[in-house]
Structure 1
Amino acid sequence: MHGFATLEADRSPVVPQRGPSMSATPTAHARTGEITTAYTDRGEGPALLLVHGHAYDRSMWERQVEVFSSRGWRVLAPDLRGFGGSEGTAGIVYTEEFADDLAALLDHAGVVRAVVVGFSMGGQVAMELLHRHPQRVRALVVNDTVPQAEDTAGRRRRHVTADTILRTGMEEYGRAVLGKMIAEANVEAMPETAARVLAMLQSAPAEGAAAAMRGRAERRDYTDLLSGAELPVLVVVGADDPFDGGAGRRTAELVAGAELVVVDGAGHTPSMEQPEAFDAAVDAFLRRLPA
């Protein structure tokens, strides 16, 4: 299924620059395949795995780590390969590799099954984890993501974006996409949130961001996976997400019994723009899960 295979030529680990970190949480490390993954591990109880999106890192989940670890959950929040404090591999990183890294992290942590929360690209990684390691996923929360594969134009657009990232760097990329990652109105209305998002984007290693963008271009289609899923699913979408276009509703309709929550006053990142509403939706879903 993978195009652009020549980009895989160099698979040596790349140590990224350090981005924003969880201020009050020590960083743990696990050897996952050929790389070292940095992650947060807090709390006791059933496992909740939080998967960040493209050019973000695990610090996006700082509030959720605090909230859910205090409510009887063991919360794991890794930096994906090539982001935050985790090593990367140059060229291209496929969604399958991210998913296998997560399975290896669960092995390292002694976790058999987890509720998996995936944001944007992280939602696609979560669906890939369900595809490749279904026994590891107890329930699924997908936030502002789409299950469909890219068409030809979409694949080309992502590869062009990866080229641009490598040519112009993450500072310019962050400025260009900030008003899409959070609602345009929130850039001015929520300056602290906007600054946090911009800092994450601009501190992400360009090689890691480009490699993930290329891999995302080649991802599989998850619509059949979701339509046949027999596990609890929650879909969360920001009401003002410019990338959505009804995708959240259509995703929820794929899964029998899936729940859909639309968060008002949020764009692409409701967990940071409207964290109280986001956390309430996830908490209600978690409380309804069978033991």
Structure 2
Amino acid sequence: MPPFLAYEDKDPGATGRVPLVLVHGHPFDRTMWHPQLAALAAGRRVIAPDLRGYGASPVTPGTVPLSRHAEDLADLLDLLGVDTFVLAGLSMGGQIAMECHARFGDRIRGLVLADTFPDAETPEGRRDRAATAERLLTEGMRGYADEVLEKMVAPYADPDVKAHVHRMMTAAPPEGAAAALRGRAERPDYRALLTGVRVPALVVVGADDTYTPVSDAETMHAALPDSVLHVVEGAAHLPNLERPEEFNRVLGDFLARLDG
């Protein structure tokens, strides 16, 4: 049976190092991890899927909760024969990583939470996400992408990075993005979960991120029993693309600790 999710699987034969699974945010796809796939998949298996409703993966209209994304990832990793791994997620991907830890934390050797936050949605946030979902279905992705581009990446970001981020957003299927927004609005509160994480964690955030500011990262770092916090200067919500060399160095150091 073929996998439900489209994915990239780098160096699948590597066995000496713990595998790394990369979970993208909204409204992106697995190409947001290209700098990490290129730099970190040398002797390490690195898997980057397109989430349900994004990239080349099938679209499910309506509402797709974070739990459905977590189940999709577990099914994919089962199919690929990956039993234990380091799980890294950015923004919505970080919240999916938390949901994965709640469901199959015994498989996770390390947790990387980038530019994300653990709180449940507020009533205002639920209304905003519902309105944005309707807008995407009515208008498509381009107007939304134009509006949020310089919050996703800093206004001073490299033009090629801006262009890549804009392409990902405009290419996202509106039905898939809307379904994920509705599901994300229903997410639980993960703050208590963080205090029970028993594996090493890395918290990364762009210094100029306005969606998930440094204060959110500091709160997660304080809650996690064994964590490292790294603030990436000169980056906003996507430091893995805006400052890939620094992001890769910090992630690589974290992975090396787990390999040991």
State the TM-score, normalized to the length of structure 1.
0.86
For the structure 1 residues 197 and 228, does the alpha-carbon distance in structure 2 shift closer, same or farther, using more than 3 Å as the test? same
SS in 2 for 1:89: coil
Task: Report deviation, 1:184.
Answer: 1.9
Question: What fraction of aligned residue pairs are identical, expressed as a percent?
Answer: 47
Equivalent residue runs for 1:193-204 within 5 Å: 193-204=161-172
Cα distance in 2 for partners of 1:99, 1:30 equals 18
Q: Determine the structure 2 residue equivalent to 1:55.
A: 27
Offset, 1:257: 2.3
> Residues 30 and 53 from structure 1, CA distance in 2 versus in 1: closer, same or farther, beyond 3 angstroms?
farther
Task: Go from structure 1 to structure 2 and tell me whether the alpha carbon gap of 1:290 and 1:64 turns closer, same or farther (over 3 Å shift).
Answer: closer
Question: Displacement of 1:62 after TM fit?
Answer: 1.0
Name 2:211's counterpart in structure 1.
Answer: 243
SS in 2 for 1:41: strand
1:7 maps to which residue?
Answer: none
Q: What amino acid maps onto 1:219 in structure 2?
A: R
Hey, what's the Cα distance between the residues in 2 that align with 1:75 and 1:90? 29
Query: C-alpha displacement at 1:30, in angstroms?
Result: 4.1
* Counterparts of 2:29 and 2:131, CA distance in 1: 22
Instruction: Work out whether residues 198 and 226 of structure 2, in 8 Å CA contact, stay in contact via their aligned partners in 1.
Output: no
For structure 1, list consecutive stretches of 5 or more residues without a partner in the other structure: 1-28
Shift of 1:288: 1.3
**Runs of at least 4 residues off by over 6 Å:** none
The equivalent of 2:190 in structure 1 is 222
Cα shift at 1:151: 1.3
1:22-51 CA distance string (max 9 Å, x none) = xxxxxxx943xxxx2100001123210000
Contact 2:64 2:180 in 1 (8 A): yes
* Equivalent residue, structure 2, for 1:276: 245
Residues 167-225 of structure 1, C-alpha deviations (whole Å, 9 max, x = no match)? 11101111111011001222xxx110000000000000000000000000000111111
Alpha carbons 2:109, 2:258 under 8 Å: kept: no
**Match for residue 177 of structure 1 among 144, 148, 170:** 148
State the AA in 2 paired with 1:266: A
* Cα shift at 1:290: 5.7
**5+ residue gaps, structure 2:** none
| Alpha-carbon separation, structure 2, partners of 1:53 and 1:225 | 20
Contact 1:30–1:105, Cα closer than 8 Å, also in 2: no
Report how far residue 66 of structure 1 moved: 1.4
Question: Secondary structure, in 3 states, of the residue corresponding to 1:76?
Answer: strand
Q: TM-score, normalised by structure 2?
A: 0.96
Query: Larger RCO: Structure 1 or Structure 2 (Cα < 8 Å, ≥ 6 residues apart)?
Result: 2
Aligned residues: 255
The CA RMSD over aligned residues, in Å, is 1.1
